[in-house]
């Protein structure tokens, strides 16, 4: 009997220092609540929890400009704002320790990715990662350093020939796309709310890669109000075929759960049940197309108590091959913690009570359906560049 290596989770309490301050949507409490819930569910007994260190500048500058890293250090150590580089803005206010906290998230994703590449584990998860808006020379959208881009660069440097990145956050994964826009070795796929109604305003279907990397970028912008059936149909109609066509050595996924209907910063209407289903599908795709090599990251998610802990506990459960029954009651000890720390009740079930279902693309295109039109537009732009038929699988 062949023993598979235990999944790896990048976690240390120091990751809670990524903290923009009271009132900011990106509360570190969401990370603490997730880890606490995973612990109460017994999931952490089946993974190796590894404490990430602070990434050195030499690693950060594989993606980020040296002048930008220096500016982050000045902001963190001296309180020097640099709004031209996104530091000290409303989205990204500066805070003591900003550099170290951000660099620790990078090191965690980097280390997990290389552990996967070296065969030390099949799956690695960093819920503190997925900071996909950070640009080479600027902070953006609550993201200081781009851990996903640094990890993908490290995988390429380590010998991976093709890396696929799939982003299901409500917001377009613009930073990762920008870093690899001209690199045909990296496929970036983003399924998000349309930039017409949501930050950062990019991620249109016609964005398909640079001059020498046509087809390496796939964007599926969805209309505001898209719920489980449309979201799942969209992902199913685009993500599996493009991953199979690309054939990556490693799959990196970003699981921002701000697609949820309770999230205050997006207009999508997805449930935890659909998010769990997508985590499972992306896990399965890693086994189908990338020899099981899977790096899963957190990202957005601003319903701090009601959504994030359950969504990412399900993600951790999938990675640990210990899926949690959606009907399972949330452990009382965790709910007591919520009542004590937040003065309110937490969710009682690991489910929203939804039964996610969708029509596959083969069932037919409905020109009156706005989601179907979005899917059709993405397939029309991207599929021919990947050698895929627009109309059929």
Model pLDDT for residues 295-321, shown as the tens digit of each residue: 999 999 999 999 999 999 999 999 999
Q: What percent of the chain has pLDDT over 70?
A: 98
Residue recorded with tokens 């704002």: 81
What tokens appear for 363 in the block? 């069932």
pLDDT score for 391: 84
Q: What is the CATH number of domain 8-386?
A: 3.40.800.20
**Residue 39: how many other CB atoms lie within 10 Å:** 16
Q: How far apart are CA 84 and CA 80, in angstroms?
A: 12
Residues 110, 132, 133, 172: which is the catalytic one? 133
Q: Which residues contact 45 (CB under 8 A, 6 or more apart)?
A: none
Q: How far apart are CA 171 and CA 64, in angstroms?
A: 21
Whether the CA torsion 378, 381, 385, 388 is positive or negative: it is positive
SS3 242: helix
Q: How far apart are CA 33 and CA 14, in angstroms?
A: 14
Residue recorded with tokens 């189908």: 288
- Going by C-alpha positions, the residue among 35, 20, 14 that lies closest to residue 337 is 35
Q: Mean pLDDT over residues 171-182, rounded?
A: 98
Helix and strand totals (H; E) in the chain = 11, 8
Is residue 189 within 8 A of residue 242, CB to CB? The reply is yes
User: What is the reported pTM?
Assistant: 0.98
Is residue 191 within 8 A of residue 239, CB to CB? The reply is yes
Is residue 42 within 8 A of residue 58, CB to CB? The reply is no
* Rg of the chain in Å (alpha carbons): 19
Q: How far apart are CA 191 and CA 169, in angstroms?
A: 7
Q: Mean pLDDT over residues 166-184, rounded?
A: 98
Q: How far apart are CA 142 and CA 92, in angstroms?
A: 5
Say whether pLDDT at 393 is over 90: no
- Going by C-alpha positions, the residue among 306, 283, 258, 10 that lies closest to residue 142 is 258
Task: Determine which helix (DSSP H) or strand (DSSP E) holds 342, and give its type and residue range.
Answer: helix 332-342
Q: How far apart are CA 251 and CA 113, in angstroms?
A: 10
Say whether pLDDT at 193 is over 50: yes
Q: How far apart are CA 187 and CA 341, in angstroms?
A: 42
Q: How far apart are CA 376 and CA 88, in angstroms?
A: 40
Is residue 92 within 8 A of residue 20, CB to CB? The reply is yes
pLDDT score for 5: 83
344: preceding bond cis by omega (within 30 degrees): no
Q: Mean pLDDT over residues 197-220, rounded?
A: 97
Tally of residues, the chain = 393
- Going by C-alpha positions, the residue among 42, 101, 68, 109 that lies closest to residue 252 is 109
Half-sphere exposure for 298 (CA within 13 Å, toward CB) = 30
Angle at 260 (CA atoms; ends 257, 262), nearest 5 degrees: 125
Between 136 and 5, the more confident residue is: 136
| Domain boundaries, given as residue ranges, for the chain | 8-386
Does 132 participate in catalysis according to the annotation?
Answer: no
Say whether pLDDT at 1 is over 50: no
N-terminal to C-terminal alpha carbon distance within the chain: 36
Query: Over the stretch 360-369, which tens digit does the pLDDT of each residue have?
Result: 999 999 999 9
Average pLDDT value for the chain: 97
- Going by C-alpha positions, the residue among 40, 6, 14 that lies closest to residue 108 is 14
Q: Which residues contact 85 (CB under 8 A, 6 or more apart)?
A: 68, 71, 137, 138, 139
Q: Mean pLDDT over residues 244-273, rounded?
A: 98
Query: Over the stretch 21-68, which tens digit does the pLDDT of each residue have?
Result: 999 999 999 999 999 999 999 999 999 999 999 999 999 999 999 999
Task: Determine which helix (DSSP H) or strand (DSSP E) holds 218, and give its type and residue range.
Answer: strand 217-222
């Amino acid at each position: 009997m062949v023993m598979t290596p235990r999944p790896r989770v990048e976690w240390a309490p120091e990751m809670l220092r990524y903290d923009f301050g009271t009132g900011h949507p990106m509360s570190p409490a969401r990370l603490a609540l997730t880890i606490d819930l995973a612990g109460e569910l017994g999931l952490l007994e089946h993974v190796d929890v590894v404490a990430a260190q602070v990434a050195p500048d030499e690693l950060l500058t594989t993606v980020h400009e040296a002048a930008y890293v220096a500016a982050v250090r000045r902001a963190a150590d001296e309180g020097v704002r640099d709004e031209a580089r996104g530091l000290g803005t409303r989205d990204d206010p500066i805070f003591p320790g900003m550099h170290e906290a951000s660099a620790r998230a990078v090191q965690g994703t980097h280390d997990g990715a290389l552990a996967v590449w070296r065969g030390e584990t099949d799956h690695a998860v960093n819920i503190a990662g997925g900071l996909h808006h950070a640009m080479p020379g600027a902070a953006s959208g609550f993201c200081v350093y781009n851990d996903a881009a640094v990890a993908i660069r490290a995988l390429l440097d380590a010998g991976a020939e093709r890396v696929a990145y799939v982003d299901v956050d409500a917001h377009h994964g613009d930073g990762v796309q920008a870093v690899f826009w001209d690199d045909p070795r990296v496929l970036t796929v983003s399924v998000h709310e349309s930039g017409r109604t949501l930050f950062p305003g990019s991620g249109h279907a016609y964005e398909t890669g640079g001059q020498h990397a046509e087809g390496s970028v796939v964007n599926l912008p969805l209309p505001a109000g898209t719920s489980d059936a449309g979201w799942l149909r969209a992902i199913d109609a685009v993500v599996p075929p493009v991953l199979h066509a690309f054939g990556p050595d490693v799959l990196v996924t970003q699981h921002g759960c701000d697609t949820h209907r309770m999230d205050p910063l997006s207009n999508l209407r997805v449930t935890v049940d659909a998010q769990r289903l997508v985590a499972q599908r992306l896990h399965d795709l890693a086994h189908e197309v990338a020899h099981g090599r899977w790096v899963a990251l957190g990202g957005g998610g601003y319903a701090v108590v009601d959504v994030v802990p359950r969504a990412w506990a399900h993600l951790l459960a999938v990675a640990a091959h210990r899926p949690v029954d959606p009907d399972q009651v949330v452990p009382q000890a965790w709910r007591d913690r919520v009542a004590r720390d937040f003065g309110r009740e937490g969710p009682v079930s690991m489910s929203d009570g939804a039964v996610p279902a969708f029509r596959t693309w083969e069932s037919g295109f409905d020109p009156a359906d706005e989601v179907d039109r979005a899917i059709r537009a993405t397939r029309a732009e991207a599929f021919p560049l990947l050698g895929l038929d627009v109309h059929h699988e």
